[in-house]
Amino acid sequence: MNTSDEKVLTIGEMVVEDPSRARVFEQFGIDYCCGGKIPLAKSCASRGVDLESVLVALEKSDTTTEPSSDKDWSQEPMSDLVDHIVSTHHSYLREEFPRMTTLTERVAVVHGDRHPELLEVRDVFAMMRNELELHMQKEEQILFPMIKQLESGSATAADHCGTIENPIRMMEHEHDVAGDALGKLRALTDGFVIPVGACTKYRVMLDGLAKLEVDLHQHIHKENNILFPKALAAETHSV
């Protein structure tokens, strides 16, 4: 990438431009989903990450990584992106939540005496699950139908709640809450690193949390940095 891009593009826009860059941001612990609206330099400074190291890694990624097999969702209809989010990311969470709840509860019971942080892992995960399940219902029942109607021209947001910005603002706030929960889970588990002597369930739990974090980052990125800006722009143009 052009190193001057970091002075112009936000982190989210950089990932929209090339989704493979998300791997680099994951590597450095840079938030490209909930924190996708700020420039890279500012994010690096706030997290104590060396900007030049990130730029070098991005340059390497841009020149060596195969093009992403995923669609360029910024160029697809909003209704297609909505369907993709529901069928891919919402379905993934609904499938993983029961399994991960069982794992976090069992690991906390078995290892909680020696590792009290696992009790907090169980509680943080339970809270995140409850909030995201309600969040997904609101998106599927309220916001996503509004976006589809807006795109088709069959209705405007004013028919529902004045402006589509209102539910989008609420969904972004709830994304921030989920992002905070992910950060707590990562901190409590030392970055999902498997400790010496961990049993199989402990290992499986950490692997599941790490994969859930990656998927949720991608999920929120597609909403915050692609779907929601497109919906807001569509509403402006329809007025």
Is 158's pLDDT higher than 70?
Answer: no
Q: For residue 116, is pLDDT > 70?
A: yes
> For tokens 């090339």, what's the residue?
18
| Cβ burial, residue 31 (10 Å; 0-12/13-18/19+) | buried
Residue 36 and residue 221 in contact, taking contact as beta carbons nearer than 8 Å: yes
Instruction: Note the pLDDT of residue 139.
Output: 98
Residues 103-126 have a mean pLDDT of 95
Q: What is the pLDDT of residue 27?
A: 87
Interval 8-45: pLDDT, tens:
788 988 988 888 888 899 888 888 888 888 899 988 99
Domain borders along the chain are: 3-64, 73-238
Weakest mean pLDDT among 76-85, 120-129, 161-170: 161-170
Q: Which residue has the higher pLDDT, 204 or 26?
A: 204
How far is it, in rounded angstroms, from Cα 203 to Cα 200?
A: 5
The pLDDT-based confidence of 82 (bands split at 50, 70, 90) is: very high
Write the DSSP assignment of 110-144 as a string of letters.
Answer: HHTTT-THHHHHHHHHHHHHHHHHHHHHHIIIIIH
pTM for the complete prediction? 0.85
What is the mean predicted confidence (pLDDT) over 51-57? 92
Give pLDDT, residue 156.
56
